[in-house]
Structure 1
Amino acid sequence: MLKTLYTAGLFMAATCMFAGKAKAQLKGFSIGPYAEIGTPVGDFKDTHNAGFGGGLNADIKLIAGFGVTGSAGFMYFSGKSYDIFDIEGNRVTVKAESIKALPVRVGLKYKFGFPLLYVKAEGGSATFVGGDSDAYKGTAAIFAPGIGIRVLGLDVEGKYEMWFKDGTSGFFGLKASYHF
């Protein structure tokens, strides 16, 4: 866990330090904070409430409408109380453990002929922090396709994000960021 926190912190610090120099050399480089919300779907919605998070996002424009994107941050989903049946058939109410994770994502972005609209696909890992159960310890793989619009520095994206660890946990997300 400390190794992941250290790596994410180092990534953010290096990106901030070199942002000014890189922007002068790479006209298409931008960096900024983001906030996001996520609405669980499938079995995940039965055990967890809507989540929220934030972090730092960076974009680099390439050629022909393509770009590279990356982000590092924090995401939190609170656990719900739900009913299950024990071995004897009695109804028992249990509360799911809250999820706290550090997602790190990288991906490709493509701007359509209409310059404001883009699609992107990201992959990466979400390292769980502070979990007591084995289900929320370790690291999950991430895949997140999305579509968004960017007007000047404001970037708003809708996405479906999947976390793969002992099954799949998915959520629809809305991510808003401002790039400098």
Structure 2
Amino acid sequence: MANYKKNFARATYDTEGRVLTTIVSIFSTTSGTIIEVTLQGDFLTKNEDEIVHEALEQFYQDTYPNRAENEKFQKMEKVLKESTEALDTTRKTLAQSVVKEFEYETNFHDIDSKLAFLAKHLNVAYPEIEEDDEEDDKGKEEKAHETEKEPAQPENSQPVATTPLV
């Protein structure tokens, strides 16, 4: 990195004698580059390091106007990356605990409770059995038992009257 030194600093004044700006010239001790910038305000009383720092900062702002915006984007990308990594770790830990809980058969009464458990942890809608459906299922089971007891008759057939044989 280049090391800069102050070449000169001079002030510009308004009509009442107040300092408006400070014109600063700095040079690189390694490459010989000279940078001259105008700083708003009085920098004549500042030490050389502060003047060089402010001059470089002003030069970068003039030369790279999107620098601050780019730095903000870089910081946000870094924070987003760290947050994503933390979220991935949390998801993996949660998945491991869900799998462990899922493996214990005593936590579930039947397959429906297992499926409901998975649906809950995967944020998937699991269709619940409604009470009407349960009643319909019971009614169907009763009808099935009745049809087993009665002889099967075709739906179109009508009973035929029979006369006793003598």
In which range does the TM-score fall when normalised by the shorter chain? under 0.3
In proportion to residue count, which structure has more strand? 1
Rg larger in 1 or in 2? Answer: 2
Q: Given the two structures, how large is their TM-score scaled by the length of structure 2?
A: 0.23
Query: Does 1 or 2 have the higher relative contact order (CA < 8 Å, sep 6+)?
Result: 1
